[in-house]
Amino acid sequence: MSIAVTILGVSLLIVLHELGHFFAARFFDMRVLRFSVGFGPPLIRWKKGETTWQLAAVPLGGYVLIDGMGADESHEQGINDTRSFRNRPVWQRAVVLAAGPVMNWLLAAAFITSLAWTVGFARYDTTSATLGEILDGGPAAQAGLTQGDRVQRVGATAVEDWDHLVAAIRAHPQQPVLFEIQRRNETLSLSVVPRRADGGDFGVIDVMPPAHIERFGPITGLRAGLVGATSYTTQQVQMLVGLVLGTEQGRLAGLPGIVKMVSEQAERGARYLLQSLAWLSIGLFLLNLLPVPALDGSRLSFLAIEAVRRRPVDARIEGTIHGIGFVLLIGLMVWVSIRDLL
């Protein structure tokens, strides 16, 4: 059940991304030819106005087809058609392209806001190395660590707060390491084997800091959603920069890895599911703004070049770049997904 909920949630993030493009295009009276929920052969198709809506065979994600947005010039009414994407001002096309990623950012804020209004947030105390929730079946639980244990030392490393604890654990993936802990009035030594993190070459033991639940009112909850989405964005930008500079460890996760990660959070409850979907939605926001061919960021880059040159890049050149980028992107996704399954 958690896997089905996860796939539905990930599909929702992508479909709402495409709805961002759709609503922006309709706001500027551009002609939208098709909106598809899913990929592949259509299972159900209907037409409302000038837009064909369809449910496709592969239910993950979707796409929107705006007239004149492709590489060729064969849009319905020709080069003088003011309702074609290609014939609209640069700033309007930029808004339409940016609307998808922006929708993902707002969706993350909405997830966090809904948490603030309902089940509340777990506020973590990271000022010490005291253990909070111990996840069932994880390395900490298997080693006999319990909630309330105060970690004093990991191997030869003295631990003073949660950041020190995390750093010490990360340094020992798949390696037995001795934890010295204070449990009530006695000092114990337990051997723990941190597992290798999903998507990274570092150790984790599946524990959380001590926490208390905090709920918010309507205004403070909305503020918490905006602040939370901003915080997630900052954290992911820092992680991305760290990966590029080599100061952070990690790797790309494919669809199997993403589904596994989110479904594990779904099994822990609605709070963790919404938090992970918010985190993933911010990831989609940032990913789509990267200047990678076939993504929104690349199309925005071509619009920036057009604005500077005061004439568009040749449609065939742009189309070729996006086409090659799309093939490479699909290839990367397939390779990463296969690696996740091995």
Catalytic residue list: 18
**DSSP-derived pairing of the beta strands 157-158 and 150-154:** antiparallel
CA-wise closest residue to 69 among 274, 338, 302, 276: 302
Distance (Å, rounded) from C-alpha 153 to C-alpha 195?
18
CA-wise closest residue to 57 among 36, 73, 71, 74: 36
Helix 270-289 / helix 2-27 crossing angle, nearest 10 deg:
40
DSSP lists the bridge partners of residue 188 as: 181
The terminus-to-terminus CA distance of the chain in angstroms comes to 23
Residue 271 and residue 119 in contact, taking contact as beta carbons nearer than 8 Å: yes
Q: Which two tokens stand for residue 152?
A: 């004093």
DSSP lists the bridge partners of residue 182 as: 150, 187
What phi-psi label fits residue 302: left (phi over 0), alpha (psi between -120 and 50 degrees) or beta? alpha
3-state DSSP call for residue 55?
strand
